């Protein structure tokens, strides 16, 4: 299972929100590159970079942060937040993203998202399935759609999508543990490569997610709040290689 730390960016700084609520913003570091380099120094190879300004303003904003991390580390970056147009996608890939995550656009403009999959290939495009209950949320989680998670996943699996990041919004940033039951259901009912996201609070949850069959897990606040140390992650990665 890949370990994928998250860096969420507002105004070029590393922040975390609780349940996607912008009013709960807490800044952890002024310099995302410092954080990314610390991850890399502990054997981490992957990074989930989220442009929260982009998610709110509906177009890519923090591509310079992406470019800086991509050029100054060897991390494989998946980038999301505010990718709405072909131009946004082009900027993300040209700025160094290895993969991009599309959530809101997959709900609201399925023809555009479908074209991205066929143009760039399913290896490059991750489906962002952010859920409230079992319904898909959009626009930086400010809106909930009428699409059920399982219909949504089935639709895009038929289009060739391989990877999905599923975040249970009620868990995100709360440090109360991930949605094991939801992930078990996804893994038993679909063939997607599931990247678990939201609520990771302690190291013991990681082997459990790996045993369930998650392809990756995104860890955010638990690292910043020292609930999980980079040393523990390093050991986990070494023991699984």
User: Is position 8 annotated as part of the catalytic site?
Assistant: yes
Catalytic residue among 8, 51, 78, 172: 8
Report the alpha-carbon distance of residue 233 to residue 177 in Å, rounded.
17
Whole-angstrom distance, CA of residue 143 vs CA of residue 56 = 11
Q: What is the pLDDT of residues 46-99, one digit of tens each?
A: 999 999 999 889 999 999 999 999 999 999 999 999 999 999 999 999 999 999
Please report which residue ranges of 11-127 form alpha helices under DSSP H: 32-41, 52-57, 63-72, 86-94, 104-108, 110-120
Q: Is the pTM of this model over 0.85?
A: yes
Q: How many distinct structural domains can be found in the chain?
A: 1
Instruction: Write the pLDDT tens digit of every residue in 153-188.
Output: 999 999 999 999 999 988 888 889 999 999 999 999
What pLDDT shows up at residue 226? Answer: 95
Q: For 204-231, write each residue's pLDDT tens digit.
A: 999 999 999 999 999 999 999 999 999 9
Candidates 51, 53, 130, 139; catalytic one? 130
CATH code of residue 66: 3.20.20.70
Domain range holding 202? 2-240
């Amino acid at each position: 299972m890949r370990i994928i730390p998250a860096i969420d960016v507002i105004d070029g700084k590393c922040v975390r929100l609780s349940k996607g609520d912008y009013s709960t913003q807490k800044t952890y570091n002024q310099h995302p590159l410092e954080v990314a380099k610390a991850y890399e120094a502990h054997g981490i190879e992957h990074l989930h970079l989220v442009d929260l300004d982009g998610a709110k303003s509906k177009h890519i904003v923090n591509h310079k942060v992406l470019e800086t991390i991509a050029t100054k580390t060897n991390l494989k970056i998946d980038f999301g937040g505010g990718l709405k147009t072909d131009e946004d996608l082009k900027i993300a890939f040209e700025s160094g993203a290895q993969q991009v995550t599309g959530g809101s656009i997959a709900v609201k403009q399925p023809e555009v998202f479908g074209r991205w999959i066929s143009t760039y290939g399913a290896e490059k495009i991750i489906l962002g399935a952010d859920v409230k209950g079992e319904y898909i949320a959009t626009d930086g989680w400010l809106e909930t759609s009428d699409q059920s998670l399982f219909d949504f996943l089935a639709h895009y699996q038929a289009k060739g999508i391989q990877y999905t990041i599923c975040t249970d919004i009620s868990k995100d940033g709360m440090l109360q543990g991930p949605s094991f039951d939801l992930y078990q259901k996804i893994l038993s009912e679909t063939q997607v490569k599931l990247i678990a996201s939201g609520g990771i609070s302690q190291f013991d949850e990681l082997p459990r997610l790996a045993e369930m069959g998650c392809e990756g897990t995104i860890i955010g606040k638990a690292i910043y709040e020292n609930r999980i140390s980079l040393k523990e992650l390093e050991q986990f990665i070494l023991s699984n290689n």
